[in-house]
Amino acid sequence: MSLRRLRASQTPAFTLIELLVVIAIIAILMALLVPAVQKVREAAAQTTCGNNLKQIGIGFHSYHGEHKSFPPGRIDANGGATWCVLILPYIGQPDIYKRWDFAKLYYDQTPALLQSQVPTYYCPTRRTAGSNPLSIPGGNPDGLAGALGDYAVCDGNDAADHPYNTETANGAIILSSYGINGSGLALPGKWKSLTKIKSITDGTNCTFLAGEKHVVLGKFGVGGDFTNVGEAHGDGSIYNGDPENQNAARVASESCPLAISPKDAYNKNFGSWHPGICQFVMCDGAVKRIAIDIDLPNYRRLGVRNDGEVITLKGF
């Protein structure tokens, strides 16, 4: 036998026990690494989501600077454009805005326009513009597919004397005051926002402007029949204000608390897929992370612009 062949035959091999030990070590390292990677990804997603809300806040304030008022939640009650259309020029999307015909309802815009997606309107923890882009025809009152979004303005606390989706709602961003034509459509140029910075008498730093809207797991793109609570899911096209602007507005109150998980039933409520928090942009433009177990009285106070009640949470 040659020296080379002798040396090869004497090369030690892994025993079964040694191999199992190596596999076990790799499994342990993977178990430790995967959660760490997931935490890093979620932290990055939260940052991106917060930046989206920051941009939305800048859009609202830029609109206010030009028009001397905040944009309304929607310009009329029968399918008019929502705030998501009105702030487009101020968040880097002027082309979509210029193509929108404000003399027409949502249903009468071109399909290509309705399906124009804005990445700023999507939270990466939940979805992206390309992953689940359109509302489901037939799952919405309009029956026309349109771009979705993960953020909603705060309409108030839906109290009996300040009901949701009315001109008397007490949130920062509410329905406009508008004139209508014979078809029930808001007359071009005849609608007017009802809120501005000076309307936020409770303080712009402690009043919700907009936040992450609750979307039920498995109900992406489903607006639903708002006359039947069991069929309402509030995820129709974010451009469409029909019939109660639940696609782009939410309520903060004891009766509509923050969703605890994506599986919670829809209730015109805000909610996030980030663990333990829901992010909001305040009326001063600051982005804040609100714990999902926030006490309900303070949560309601944050949702109202002018009740005069004191916020007792730390950081406000």
Alpha-carbon gap, residue 138 to 126, rounded angstroms: 23
All residues at 6 or more sequence positions from 190 whose CB lies less than 8 Å from its CB, including other chains: 178, 179
Alpha-carbon gap, residue 298 to 48, rounded angstroms: 26
pLDDT for the residue 34: 63
User: Any idea what DSSP says for residue 310?
Assistant: P
Ranges of the chain whose pLDDT falls below 50: 1-8, 139-140
pLDDT for the residue 177: 87
pLDDT for the residue 188: 62
Instruction: Spell out the alpha helix ranges (H) of 10-92.
Output: 16-67, 83-86
Instruction: Quote the pTM value.
Output: 0.86
State which H helix or E strand residue 302 sits in. helix 296-303
Terminal C-alpha separation, the chain: 85
Label residue 68 left, alpha or beta by phi (over 0 means left) and psi (-120 to 50 means alpha).
Answer: left
240: nearest Cα among 94, 141, 131, 128: 141
**Which segments of 172-242 are extended strands (E)?**
208-212
Burial 157-172, CB ≥16 within 10 A → b, else e: bbbeebebbeeebbbb
pLDDT for the residue 6: 45
pLDDT, tens digit, 9 for 90 and up, residues 202-228: 999 999 999 999 999 989 988 866 666
